[in-house]
Amino acid sequence: MSLKQYRAFVQTVERRSVSAAAEALGVSQSALTQNLNALEKQFGFPLLVRNRGGVHLTREGRRVWPAVQQVVQADDALQQTVQEERERGERVIRIATFKSVAVSWLPAMMKAFQSDHPEAQFKLFDGAYAEVDDYVRSGAVDFGFVSLPDALECEMIPVKEDRLLAVLPQGHPMADRERVPAAQFGAEPVVSLVDSTNRDAQRYLTSQGVTPDIRFQTADDYALISMTESGLGICITHELVLQSDNHDVVIRELDPPAHRTIAIAIPDRKAAPPLVQAFIRFVQAWTREE
């Protein structure tokens, strides 16, 4: 027994005509008749009487009719729910991101995008670089913001260069200088992000042959600056973090200068829903303008 046979039975009873039922289901009369015959054979008794007056239920047919009708109605309800969830899923844009992008970029991006796409819904998965990589790698998100170079094996679209900057407490001896040399971070206490989020600063200092004197570590960009403001040490952070920060600190360029490249990592762009692809194009345009 199959839903196809049940639907043939229900349509035939409701329309009292094999030809009308076949037309409603988009099948030939012979195909519909085959389904009815197969259902009667599996039940072991006749379900319908066909004569010039139309199609009528047999005594046995009347007994099973309510149950078969309920099965078809339940399947209709299930298919409707599945379709609604598919449509809803196509409206949800799932993004993995580190905190500075989530704070400084995405609120404005999402608001502007929704002016043209009011149906768009967003779900953010924020975390450190390694966590963002895991979200993208597992397929839990449509795309993620990453810092290049990145070990993910997927399409990467660079969107912005974000400077690394030195942050000093007020009154620091080097506050009157335009640039802070990399060597300074090996000569005095340093406040640092934990290893999973400190990749950019560590890569820079390693390239300069500097081993930082790390005294304090945190997983939060803004706690990093707060600790520097309190005079616990100096730090390196990203310009994007500082754009949305109001701590009373001194910000200077590094010597030599450095930056990270923020990119969009897309697991499978061709398979992405149209709304996701539209948002990716929007992000590229938005970052160019900004």
Domain boundaries, the chain: 3-86, 91-159+270-289, 160-262
Q: 163-190 pLDDT, tens per residue?
A: 999 999 999 999 999 999 999 999 999 9
Backbone torsions φ then ψ of 204, nearest 5 degrees: -65, -50
Tens-level pLDDT at each residue, the chain (290 residues):
788 999 999 999 998 888 899 998 899 999 999 999 999 999 999 999 887 767 889 999 999 999 999 998 898 888 777 665 665 556 889 999 998 999 999 999 999 999 999 989 999 999 889 999 999 999 889 999 999 988 899 999 999 999 999 999 999 999 999 999 999 999 999 999 887 678 899 999 999 999 999 999 998 888 999 999 999 999 999 999 998 778 899 999 999 999 999 999 998 888 888 899 999 999 999 998 87
* CATH topology classification for 3-86: Arc Repressor Mutant, subunit A (1.10.10)
Within this chain, domains 3-86 and 160-262 share the same CATH topology? no
Residue 138 burial by CB count (10 A; 0-12/13-18/19+): exposed, middle or buried?
exposed
Query: How much is the pLDDT for 260?
Result: 93
Query: How much is the pLDDT for 86?
Result: 62
Give the Cα separation of 244 and 129 in Å (integer): 20
CA 201 to each of CA 168, 225, 251, 254: distance values in angstroms, whole numbers, following the listed order:
15, 14, 15, 11
Q: 209-220 pLDDT, tens per residue?
A: 999 999 999 988
Q: What architecture is the 91-159+270-289 domain classified under in CATH?
A: 3-Layer(aba) Sandwich (3.40)
Query: How much is the pLDDT for 289?
Result: 84
Point out which residues pair with 252 in neighbouring strands: 166
Residue 229 tokens, joined: 């403001």
CATH ID of 160-262, from 3.20.140.10, 3.55.40.20, 3.20.20.70, 3.40.190.290: 3.40.190.290
pTM over the 0.75 mark = no
Residue pair 182/210 in contact (Cβ under 8 Å)? The answer is yes
Give the Cα separation of 265 and 231 in Å (integer): 37
Query: How much is the pLDDT for 258?
Result: 94
